[in-house]
Amino acid sequence: MVERYIRDVPDFPKKGILFKDITPLLQSAEGLQECLDKMAAAVDPKSYDLICGIESRGFIFGMGLAAKLKKGFVPIRKRGKLPWKTASQAYELEYGTDHIEVHVDAVKPGQKVLLVDDLLATGGTMEAALKLVKQIGGVPVATSFVIELGFLKGREKLKPTPVHALLKF
Ligand code: AMP
């Protein structure tokens, strides 16, 4: 069901990339509900305290899940966006590197965290997010995605943290 709401957009944002557009899923009341229900069921909510979402589509699904499960939400943002003291992690882009950041006091030492993003491709972004959560004393319990591009083998990079994805391409 969820799969039929994912739109493939060829050559976006550049030639050769098949972009998985989740906006039709967000638009559909039934599709969105099913997606959040399945994400909520994928990892036992009792096993974590907080949800971390990665900018920007990770905010949408992470926040939806947090509201549904009555958990707190922590935004992991691109460099320079967060106003308070931050911890930072670099990750590889196709050309050069970028950074993601989190407030140093966003997760209390020992708190268990579920990390959420819309899509797992090479795994570089989520790998950096896992390091970031550990850097501020959090304990990653699992990662959760709507979509996994299996052929890029991103989940290898996230070991030993369990990886959950609703749809695999
Ligand atoms: P990666 O670090 O390679 O796993 O890339 C993951 C991030 O890039 C996620 O935040 C995705 O939203 C975005 N992304 C990468 N590839 C795609 C794609 N084919 N379609 C949509 N989003 C993508």
> Can you list the domains of the chain with their CATH numbers?
43-168 (3.40.50.2020)
CA of 43 to the centre of ligand 1 (A): 22
Q: Which of 125, 163, 169 to mutate for ligand 1's pocket (most ligand atoms within 8 Å of CB)?
A: 125
Task: Give the pLDDT confidence of 52-95 residue by residue, as tens digits.
Answer: 999 999 999 999 999 999 999 999 999 999 999 999 999 998 78
Assess whether the previous peptide bond of 56 is cis (omega < 30° from 0). yes
CA of 45 to the centre of ligand 1 (A): 25
Nearest ligand 1 atom to alpha carbon 154: 4
Is the pTM higher than 0.85? Answer: yes
Average pLDDT, the chain: 97
Query: Would you state the pLDDT for residue 36?
Result: 98
Instruction: Look at residue 111 and tell me whether its pLDDT is greater than 80.
Output: yes
Q: What percent of the chain has pLDDT over 70?
A: 100
If you take atom 3 of ligand 1, which residue's CA is the nearest one? 122
Instruction: Look at residue 10 and tell me whether its pLDDT is greater than 90.
Output: yes
CA of 102 to the centre of ligand 1 (A): 19
Look at residues 114, 106, 117, 102 and name the one whose alpha carbon lies nearest to residue 49: 114
Q: Which of 119, 161, 168 to mutate for ligand 1's pocket (most ligand atoms within 8 Å of CB)?
A: 119
Look at residues 155, 116, 142, 110 and name the one whose alpha carbon lies nearest to residue 43: 142
